Amino acid sequence: MSQPEAFGRYRVIRRLGSGSFATVWLAQDDLLNYPVAIKVLAENWAHQLDIQHRFLEEARILRQTDSTWLVAVHDVDVLPDGRPYMVMTYADQGSVADLVQRGQLPLDEALRLLTEIGQGITVLHNHGTIHRDIKPSNVLLQSSPVGQRVLVADLGFAKSIDEASGFTAAAGTPGYMSPEQSIPGGDLDVRSDVYSLGAVAYELITGRPPSRPPVRIPPGRIRPALPPALDELILSALSVDRESRPADAKTFTDRVRTIRMAPDLPRAVPWWQRHRMPWQRAAALVASLVVLVGTLTASTGSPGLSLTTVRHAAQQVRVPVPLVWAREFHTGREAHPAATGGGLLVATDVDGWYSTDTRSYGVYATVVPGDRGLGEIGTDPCGTEPKERELDTGTWEGTVWEWPECAGNGSFSSAAVHQPGVPETVYLEVRQPGHRPDLVNEIIDGTTVS
């Protein structure tokens, strides 16, 4: 759809986004001198009466609830071609999904957002409505005189609780919708929304969505030192058995509020939390791993990436790692039989480093006595022949083997390098989303052994 000049008295400024059923535009109400968002039914659905009904039902629900925690609808009208549009609150600070992508949130901030999201869903439940599509991108943020406001939005899948036993089609977003939502004709109730609240809570706390159900890894394993009550609450909300979930959004939200108000809630984000290091590895880390304070500015060879240096004390090796990958650490990992004392692995998911089902990005490094080649210390992780190249950075020389595409999980590179005249080899592995030999070279060049 090309940009229109206006919708009624609302002057269009730019498009904010579009989905399967509608396009949202930023517009200016020149009469009241106020920005608004205008949601217009997509052209390909113009003659689908059931879709038009769903669109207008969303507007009715939002208008009737008229809550601080929900996007407000100010007006509804119809275009000359018969498509309806609604004039809504403009959320000038984007969505919670945008916020999560910027980095891990302080715990108090994550719980504040979760409380306000839960209040919005509680309003819907009190109105007799199930949202059915709660996810970070459907929670908007708006500036206000008293601070940031949370606005639950996009009720395109919302249905009356009274009709919950008559849903004929699956609806929702995989990863956030309850298991029962994936079954057409399933008997749903408000606990389906509780599951989605648990999924949003998991992502707000850890920075990543939960796995497919059943979810077994508690948030505290990814972000250590969380209150046990928070782990228990989120896992109960994500239970496959809805009888084990909190009864409704209010119950869930009240428990979040209680946890947030506890006097012993961690208010700061410790350094080990920022790197999402599993707590059970903390003791080993204190003995063998030192994270150097600060980051190294990425060189022109690696635009947009900042590097942090980590050290494996037992092997006296220091390795630069892109900061965005430094979520979990593992020392003593014996990935190769020739490694002495194990190696250092820094990655987004250390348990999924060699899994074909998990996309884990990071760096593994270990020191091997003598000048050894890949044939003696390495493995073939991708099931295909690698591209081989010789490397000489002036400090390091050796061989790099590269798999630009490794089993659908990005690029994999391994290297066996040594310093001229030094009788030991440093073996490295680098997993990354795309094939960037320049980044591999930079990691190798920045590696030091003392």
User: In which element (H, E) is residue 62 found?
Assistant: helix 49-65
Are 23 and 113 within one domain? no
Are 326 and 223 within one domain? no
Q: What tens digit of pLDDT does each residue of 312-346 get?
A: 766 778 899 888 787 777 765 555 444 445 678 88
Q: Which of 88, 104, 119 is the last residue of a domain?
A: 88
CA 100/CA 80 separation, integer angstroms: 40
Structural domain contains residue 259: yes
Got the DSSP string for 139-208? Answer: EEEE--TTS-EEEE---TT-EEGGGGGG--S--S-TTTS-GGGGSTT----THHHHHHHHHHHHHHHHSS
Question: Going edge to edge, which strands form the sheet with 397-403?
Answer: 328-333, 343-347, 362-369, 424-432, 411-418, 397-403, 387-392
Are 403 and 285 within one domain? yes
pLDDT of residue 76: 95
Task: Assess whether 189 carries a catalytic annotation.
Answer: no
Are 35 and 157 within one domain? no
Are 391 and 317 within one domain? yes
pLDDT of residue 371: 55
Are 422 and 438 within one domain? yes
Q: Which domain holds residue 257?
A: 96-270
User: In which element (H, E) is residue 78 found?
Assistant: strand 73-78
pLDDT of residue 388: 92
Got the DSSP string for 302-317? Answer: STT--EEEEEETTTTE
Name residues whose C-beta falls within 8 Å of residue 60's C-beta, 6 or more positions apart in sequence.
none
Q: Which segments in the chain show pLDDT lower than 70?
A: 1, 20, 146, 163-171, 184-186, 267-305, 313-314, 331-342, 354-358, 370-380
Structural domain contains residue 384: yes
Are 119 and 241 within one domain? yes
Are 224 and 262 within one domain? yes
> What's the number of domains the chain is made of?
3
What's the gap between Cα 202 and its chain centre? 9
pLDDT of residue 375: 45
Q: Which of 88, 116, 147 is the last residue of a domain?
A: 88
pLDDT of residue 296: 36
pLDDT of residue 344: 84
Options 133, 154, 193, 349, the catalytic residue: 133
Other Cβ atoms less than 10 A from the Cβ of 98: the count is 13
Are 329 and 412 within one domain? yes
Structural domain contains residue 1: no
Are 252 and 124 within one domain? yes
pLDDT of residue 394: 86
Structural domain contains residue 138: yes
Got the DSSP string for 223-257? Answer: STT--HHHHHHHHHHT-SSGGGS-SSHHHHHHHHH
Are 338 and 426 within one domain? yes
